[in-house]
Structures are given as C-alpha cells and as structure tokens.
Amino acid sequence: MTIRGLLLLCLFAAFSPSIAAAQDTHLLVIVGVGGDDAHSKQFNTWATTVVNAAKKQGLPPANIIYLGENPETSGGLMKARSTKENVTKAFTDIAAASKPNDELFVLLIGHGSFDGRVAAFNLPGPDLTATDYAALLDKFKTQKIVFVNTSSSSGEFIQALAGPARTIVTATRHGGERNETIFPQFFVEALDAEAADRDRNGRVSVQEAFDYATAKVKAAYEQKGTILTEHATLDDGNQGALASAQYLAPERSRTAAAQNLDPAMRALLEERDALEHQVTDLRLKKDAMPADQYDQQLEQLLTDLALKTRQIRDAEATKK
C-alpha cells in the first residue's frame, strides 16, 4: 500500500466515528446587505426558501438561525440583523450548544468583495473577512462543517477556511471573479429539488446540490450566449466523499417526525441511514483500494440504497 493510501486510511479512521455517530445539525443562514430593494427582496426569498426546506426535511426550528438585513420583511423567520456583532454571537451560541459530533451548515447569501488582499462578505455595517470567518469556525473543534459562500469574489474564502472535516463551497474560483453570481439561485433550488437527488436516497447532499447548481449555471450562461464569469468551487479534502455525506437536515430516522412512526417504518429509515454510512465509509477509502474492487462495492451499495429508498417510498404511499 502506498504512503498516500495509509494516510487516507488514517483519515478515514479519524473521521468515520463522527460520521457514524452524527447528532444534530445546526443551520446558520446569513444574508448580507442587498444594496437595493430588488436584491434585498431576492436574497430574503432565497434564505426563507432554505429555512423552510430545512424545516420540511425535519430540522427543528430551534436549530435554525437566520440573520438578515431587515427582520421585518422575513415573515418572522429572521432572528436578528446580520451585523458583525450578531453574526459573531450566532457562531458563539451554536458552538456552545453543539455536541462533539454535531454538524454545522452555514450559508452566506449576498454580495462579496476582494481588494487584492482581503476578501469579505458585505454586511450591514462593518464586514466580516475570510480571516474573521476562519476564527469563528475554529470554535468548532470536533464538529463537521459545511460553509457555503454564494457571493461574488467568494473563491478567496477557500484557502482561509479549508480544513479537516470541512466542506467549503464558493460561487467563484477566486477573488477576481467579481461579477454578481447566479449560483445561489440554483444552489438554493437544489437543496429541495428531487431532480438534484442523483442517488435517489430521498435527500440532497452538498455534493449533489453543488453539481446541480454548477450545471444549471453553465446552462444559463450558454443560453444567454455570454462568457462564464463564475466558476463555483467545492473543497472537502476528500474528492467529494465528505460532501456526499453532508446534508441540510439530519438523517430521516432522527427527525422529530420519525419518532412518531410505527416501528417497521423506523426500522426501514434506520436501515437506509446505515447504508448511507457504508457508502460514505467506502468513498473515504477509495484511493486505498483497487479500482475494480471499489467500483464493485460502490455499485452494490448504491443499488441496495436505491432499493431501500424505493421500499420506504412504497410504504409511505401505502399509508396515504
């Protein structure tokens, strides 16, 4: 086995317990300053879409914080304005409430900037820079993290934020891509779109949402006949294996709704969750395995997962 293979196995051993024992998911949606009424309205619409999708998928409202430009326009969903102080407090509060194996999902919607040295996300009042967000994420020592910055110039956040057990998604490749992005429209759409669920497991992973959105962005530019000015980027340190196991909401068997299901349905959900964990574990070991062995095992697991998902859907349809 190569040294790289050994290192990957060590990485797998380090992270697979947290994957297998994932607890609660905490969602933090931050909407920056719009600059005009049209942008402010659009940003709020995208944010509320994500919040409502998370709730529908089983994330408890207590685990959701939405900070935006104007709380009065959010229909009661927004907790407070997205000032530097409130954003900092939100990270601090979530870190204090999080258990060691919890997951954090952060979504930034708005405008970004890059002056050639410093990248920032534009907030009402003083901005927070990529370095500032890196310090805030350091509050989460053991939790897995998804950090999605959908703004212009967001690519500069990757180097500052990347690290073990973290998936960083940006709408651009680097800070020089300063044009307004359309990536957030499609990423938000993907989080609750059946079409984005490629493996048909009933949930859309971060990797699936990213792939769906980037394809839609490319198609939109081609349809307009314009040059692509934004190149979304995903970095999870594992060639997509980690991002493929991270979701907006917790496992179906762990949601509040699942607690009231009959034992047979609960068992089906738990069996599907176990198969998802096996797929994740296998993907993390990909580079340390012979290619044909990996492909064979992955095909079998994905087939089992699809069949289990169909079994769950059939059981749900029967009860309607």
Annotated domain spans of the chain: 11-245, 253-319
| Cα separation values, 197 from 209, 266, 306, 312, 316, Å | 8, 22, 11, 15, 18
Is residue 117 classed as helix, strand or coil in its secondary structure? coil
What is the per-residue pLDDT for 255? 57
Residue 244 pLDDT greater than 80, yes or no: yes
What is the per-residue pLDDT for 254? 57
- Give the residue with greater pLDDT, 248 vs 1: 248
What is the per-residue pLDDT for 320? 66
What is the per-residue pLDDT for 152? 98
Give the DSSP per-residue string, 25-86. EEEEEEE---SSHHHHHHHHHHHHHHHHHHHHTT--GGGEEEEES-GGGTTT---EE--HHH
Give the DSSP per-residue string, 147-168. EEE-STTGGGHHHHH--TTEEE
Residue 106 pLDDT greater than 70, yes or no: yes
Q: Per-residue pLDDT tens for 139-175?
A: 999 999 999 999 999 999 999 999 999 999 999 999 9
Q: Per-residue pLDDT tens for 50-70?
A: 999 999 998 999 999 999 998
Tell me the fold of 11-245.
Rossmann fold (3.40.50)
Report the predicted TM-score, pTM, of the whole model to 2 decimal places: 0.83
Residue 10 pLDDT greater than 70, yes or no: no
Q: Per-residue pLDDT tens for 26-50?
A: 999 999 999 999 999 999 999 999 9
